[in-house]
Amino acid sequence: MEKITGGVLFLMTTLFMQSCGERFYKLATVSPGKTYRVRLIEKKTEISAENHWPYKVFLTLEKEGHTGVSDATIYTGDDMQARFGNIASETEWMAEKVLRLAHEKINAGRPFDWIEFRNDSGETLSYVLINWTVHSPNLNEIFLLIDVKPDEKIRLKVTSGVEERADRSWISCLGRFEGGIALEREGRDFRIVEKRNSQAEYFVTVKKWGTLIENNAPLPKARPKMPEGWYEVQAAGLFTFYLPKSLKLARPGGSPESEWGSTFSNDQMYLNVDYGSWGGEAAPEYLAKQAEYHKEITTIDGMTAKIQSYHIGEGNWGHDYKYVTGLHIYTSNDSERKLSMGFMCKQSSDMEVARKIFNSIQFQ
């Protein structure tokens, strides 16, 4: 529902009625330079075993009259959550490729922070949705980034939570590559530092392997404390890590191309360590189908790290381990894997052991 008269763009956000009388969100808008056309529409779907969230908002995106994205789901919720119309009642183009959706217009008098989005994936992103939330009060801003090219950077001005005495903020990101592959949702929680003298800066970076979300707060580099009953493994002067004393060396040596590797095990757990860029990773499509699958992008000893966990259940695997978590740490320029750890265990409670092992890694 766009109308252009005399070069002036009219942007229309509406709440429309279905037969039951329920109000649903609908948006139609064209970018200032008329390159992009965005349509958002909310629908109520049937709840089923596969669909737990009845309310969905779908995105259709056109570039110069050609549809590049059709009915992509960008928001889901139920009766217990805020409806999209309450979150995104105000809409404003910040630039030709940046659309802001929020419950109120930008207040120029309020303090602000920055989010810098970087596309380091080597591929064009058809769209990216950045969600910025400040808890207590619940400030929420959504930014739709369109047609983000490789190596492109976009800076977003977001409302700061310092003045509101909020204690935490949340950033999440999802999207789709030009070829149709989804950019999986990633999110991270941050503690808000009170009485700071400058704006906080946050960085959302899309890599080939996933999305990294971080901020500019300095992190003190301290040697992890060794848990009681553990010991330290020295990896040929490359790095160190801690292990429970029951997890003993089962086989020295890693892959043929690795600089260092070893396998450790006991009757409940198994750990394989490989330092080097050899080998691949499990396909995202395979991992997404695994039970209780969870992926996290974080930093360990200042290096970018990806942790993926899932439950393998029953099967003819040649072993009776039930739970798997894998760690991949990348080089300083994130171009290749540097260190991988594969952990398996029989009890879900032992997954916490894997987390402690991963967090104990120190590079030398």
CATH number at residue 318: 3.40.1000.10
Domain count, the chain: 2
Per residue in 264-291, pLDDT (tens digit) is 999 999 999 998 765 566 767 777 777 8
Examine the domain organization and report whether 291 and 340 are in the same domain.
yes
Lowest-pLDDT range of 62-66, 147-151, 161-165, 297-301: 161-165
Say whether both 88 and 157 belong to one domain.
Answer: yes
Do 182 and 140 fall into the same domain? yes
Of 185, 215, 245, the residue at which a domain comes to its end is 215
169 against 243, higher pLDDT:
243
Q: Could you give the angle at the alpha carbon of 260 between the alpha carbons of 259 and 262, nearest 5°?
A: 155
Q: Are residues 183 and 258 in the same domain?
A: no
At 195 the pLDDT is 47
In a domain, 300, yes or no: yes
The verdict on 245 and 211 lying in the same domain is no
Domain boundary among 162, 180, 215: 215
What pLDDT is stored for residue 218 in this prediction? 52
- Does the pLDDT of residue 8 top 50, yes or no? no
Q: Shortest CA distance to 25 belongs to which of 82, 99, 72, 67?
A: 82
Q: For residue 319, give every residue at least 6 positions away whose Cβ sits within 8 Å of its Cβ, in sequence order, or none.
A: 270, 344
Tell me whether residue 85 is in a domain. yes
In this structure, are 292 and 337 located in the same domain?
yes
pTM: 0.66
Domain CATH for 21: 2.60.40.2890
The range of the structural domain enclosing residue 355 comes to 230-363
Give me the percent of the chain exceeding a pLDDT of 90.
40
Residue of 72, 133, 71, 60 whose CA lies nearest to 103:
133
Q: What is the average per-residue pLDDT within 100-126?
A: 89
The verdict on residue 221 lying in a domain is no
Last residue within a domain, chosen from 156, 188, 215 = 215
27 within domain boundaries: yes
223 in a structural domain: no
Q: What type of residue is 254?
A: G
